[in-house]
Amino acid sequence: MKRKLSVVMLTIVLALVIAAPAFGAGQAQAAKAKAPRFNVFAASSLINVFPAMVPTFKATYPQYKSTRFVFNFNGTGTLVTQIELGAPADLIAGANNKDVDPMYPQYIKQPKNFAKNKLEVILPKSNPGHVHSLVDLTKSGIMIAIGDSGVPVGKYTQKVLANLDKKYGASYSTKIMANVVSTETQDSNIVALVKLGAVDAGFVYASDAHYLGKSVKAIVIPNAYQTNPLPIYPIAVTKSAAQPKIAQAFMNFVLGKKGQLILKKYGFLRP
């Protein structure tokens, strides 16, 4: 119980640490000379790749060089709710088309799929749980972090675990869930818990494992046990966009050759 409580407390601290820089950055940006503010609502698994796109986007569209990108990274369902409640978003990029597509046509313009992903298991580099296979995740005492069932990464994890039952037996997913000590609403929180060694393993997107490289260990989940279809990422300009031209340009960039090359570099699959 104490170990589980420590994970919960660390999760709260992580949320505050992650949120603080974004808030501070927003305050600093607001003090700068007036420039177009572009509000991007994006799935938390895009937290590394989308900011990396900005320099190339601005070089491709020099007319938007002064644009201030303000990112809101969160679970797709949360982003959808925020927009439906009137949050100022110019563009949404989710990790689940089942959440985003129903927003059309009331809240967004026609969405398009721009990437796919897979699930993978990551471990701290020191591998304190001595996990070397998917079966090892069922050992007593292993601490696992997964996505909450209300967010895409959590939904995909549940489906993959059900598929793995067919390989390892009907009790496999039950044993895995017995070792889960933290369910996160953001993919980035799972990554942080694993990197800090607060848990022995985490179910995350393959793009996360790709980005983390040698800073973690990874266990590949065979394609036969992935979801069908694979996690699909839709993108769309919002109907309430204050910067619809910039939003459409960025959407075109993400869907285009340059954007797709950056996505590939960060471990995402073509849609």
Give tens-digit pLDDT for 95-119.
999 999 999 999 999 999 999 999 9
Residue 221: CB atoms within 10 A of its CB come to: 20
Residue range 145-155: average pLDDT? 95
Tell whether the model's pLDDT for residue 21 goes beyond 70: no
Instruction: For each of the domains in the chain, give its residue range(s) and CATH number, in order of start.
Output: 35-116+233-265 (3.40.190.10), 118-225 (3.40.190.10)
- Give the DSSP H/E element, type plus range, for residue 204: strand 201-205
pTM summary value:
0.85
| Average per-residue pLDDT for the chain | 91
Query: By the 8 A CB rule, do 205 and 45 touch?
Result: yes
Strands 201-205 and 119-124: antiparallel
The H helix count followed by the E strand count for the chain is: 10, 10
Q: Which long-range contacts (CB under 8 A, 24 or more apart) does 167-170 make?
A: 167/225, 168/134, 168/135, 168/138
What's residue 234's pLDDT? Answer: 98
- Reduced to 3 states (helix: H, G, I; strand: E, B; else coil), residue 13 is helix
What's residue 153's pLDDT? Answer: 96
**Tokens 């994890």, located at residue:** 157
| Closest to 176 measured CA to CA, from 209, 205, 143 | 143
- Reduced to 3 states (helix: H, G, I; strand: E, B; else coil), residue 104 is coil
- What is the rounded CA–CA span in Å between residue 102 and residue 94? 12
